[in-house]
Structure 1
């Protein structure tokens, strides 16, 4: 891991000059890990920072180094148009059920066609089951997977955190990190995050697993 910096936001006292501010002046702090020799770094602003900021223009966000010294930074918003071309494709999804939320990986039976199209995912044992996650059939996509977009039932608003795994045979699964989406509402304000970045590799199937909680019902 590289150098450690901190994003701080939401001042709890009167604003002062940046040079006099310290991380202790702020109500929320989010660590940033950077690597390389710099002097400039480009980082994606964490979702938790966007949700915790009190000012819509993120004017209450500051960046400090590991010594607590304020650092110069600039916020760059993504352009509505991308230079790269991406194809959006719908995929079929299949629920993963388990006896409870403590089971690390649901014990299921998966069936697919000779061409690899997923036909069925069902629990290997009968009895009461809890929705633990989803298997997505991406076998029809003949390109690296760059991004995953999810939508889920309105009854399950809040943060949704899950692990992402990839496979080509439904037997061996490779970890692809963790994902987080969110749908939050308060009064007349609403914040939604539906997209999760993927590593840009090819895979026939993706497995999304919620740990310690039931998974939401996907709608798209």
Structure 2
């Protein structure tokens, strides 16, 4: 066989070998049984940190759900829901008192009320001998109630909601003043109340915004009393806002571990504490667990996803643990929004060093769930661990079109112990041998090509030399 034919045959064999290896379906290395605790058409499986640690692709792309026969089961990744913001309004009745017209040439308003102090209580009464109001009131004095009698968990009112008996349509401008003792009054804003008749129903604006810290008494004065409505009631509006956690984060504790040597001396941080989380995790809170005694530690928190990446700063904080008269005070957890596998706590050198053996960290992480359809033949298993396998999760809307309606009926499952697949291990070892052999074949093809090229050059040179002779 000529050298050129030999090189072509060797190259063809190498290409066929590589193509045959590429056609082989990668096997997943890790397997854990799925224990269904509450059955359902769709079953939610919360993923533990161990599942994240056994994946080899970003975004959990190498997860699979299989049934007892090894057939794929359709599944989707269910991300944690953000906290739900709840808003509730509470109305508390307020007392209304008509405001008499201001006498001509006077700058003071006559008030039909007076305060009576009885011990620690303040009572509001009508002024003795106050004449009855004739005609349209110039405004209203509104008593929100004694702030001391308000429950401790009840916020101050943020607005007044007024009721009126007529007319059906009006637009009335007002100015608002407030006082704590019915003597000294301060401006508190201005606005307009209105009511409009419309085919679809009346359109009204019945609310009067209050200052951030409203006083007990509010004086509402009409710009044009003739155009104002006849008020029949008033309520203080208290708005309560709070967050409700829909998917509780998972809490883990991680001990300090040795940091790999830094290839760049600029990345070194003497005295820093290094933590390996075992997988890239979505972090929401971090708390430094300082040892017993009074401790104050100004620190910087750094993170990275891979050990060959440079460190990135996340936040700076002062962690403390203070014991005083038998009472222990701790610094609040540090809020984070980051993804990281490695964390580094760099203390301020002016505050001394921290003992890595005595300072673990407590983390709260938001982990996803696997949501799978309960089809096929149970029991089910979760597979993970391949850098080459294609993503296996369906879009969530494809798996469950009516997610909000179906969520209350989800089944529940948990993961059993993890095991390694012997077939996947053998495939990985065979792949390493093929990779080594592929490199040798490529070198052989390269050398054969160079030899064939040299042989052709020699033949051409020899053929050109004969006619010259």
TM-score, reference length from structure 1? 0.52
CA contact (8 A) 2:99 2:139 kept: yes
CA contact (8 A) 1:97 1:129 kept: no
Higher helix share: 2
Return the alpha-carbon distance in structure 1 between the equivalents of residues 129 and 156 of structure 2: 30
How many residues matched?
140
Q: Does 1:98 align with 2:101?
A: yes
Quote the residue 1:135 is aligned against.
141
**Structure 2 gap ranges (5+):** 1-83, 234-469
Quote the residue 1:15 is aligned against.
none
Q: RCO higher in 1 or 2 (8 Å CA, sep ≥ 6)?
A: 2
CA contact (8 A) 1:149 1:194 kept: yes
Return the alpha-carbon distance in structure 2 between the equivalents of residues 138 and 191 of structure 1: 26
Residue 174 of structure 1 and its aligned partner are, at CA, apart by 1.1
Quote the residue 2:191 is aligned against.
179
**Structure 1 gap ranges (5+):** 1-80
Call closer, same or farther: CA 1:126–1:185 in 2, change over 3 Å: closer
Return the alpha-carbon distance in structure 1 between the equivalents of residues 180 and 162 of structure 2: 21
Quote the residue 1:24 is aligned against.
none
Residue 145 of structure 1 and its aligned partner are, at CA, apart by 2.8
Partner-residue secondary structure (3-state), 1:183? strand
Residue 120 of structure 1 and its aligned partner are, at CA, apart by 1.5
Call closer, same or farther: CA 1:189–1:88 in 2, change over 3 Å: closer
Call closer, same or farther: CA 1:88–1:155 in 2, change over 3 Å: same
Quote the residue 1:6 is aligned against.
none
Residue 171 of structure 1 and its aligned partner are, at CA, apart by 0.4
Equivalent of residue 206 in structure 1, options 210, 218, 235: 218
CA contact (8 A) 2:173 2:224 kept: no
1:14-29 pair list within 5 angstroms: none
Partner-residue secondary structure (3-state), 1:151? strand
Residue 218 of structure 1 and its aligned partner are, at CA, apart by 1.1
Quote the residue 2:92 is aligned against.
89
Call closer, same or farther: CA 1:202–1:152 in 2, change over 3 Å: same
Residue 127 of structure 1 and its aligned partner are, at CA, apart by 8.6
Return the alpha-carbon distance in structure 2 between the equivalents of residues 116 and 208 of structure 1: 22
CA contact (8 A) 2:139 2:225 kept: no
Equivalent of residue 171 in structure 2, options 159, 163, 187: 159
Quote the residue 2:157 is aligned against.
145
Residue 156 of structure 1 and its aligned partner are, at CA, apart by 5.8
1:21-40 pair list within 5 angstroms: none
CA contact (8 A) 1:162 1:179 kept: yes
Higher alpha-carbon Rg: 2
Q: For 1:108-143, what per-residue CA distance to the aligned partner results, in whole angstroms no more than 9, with x for missing partners?
A: 342123133322168967895541111111133444
Residue 172 of structure 1 and its aligned partner are, at CA, apart by 0.5
Quote the residue 2:231 is aligned against.
218
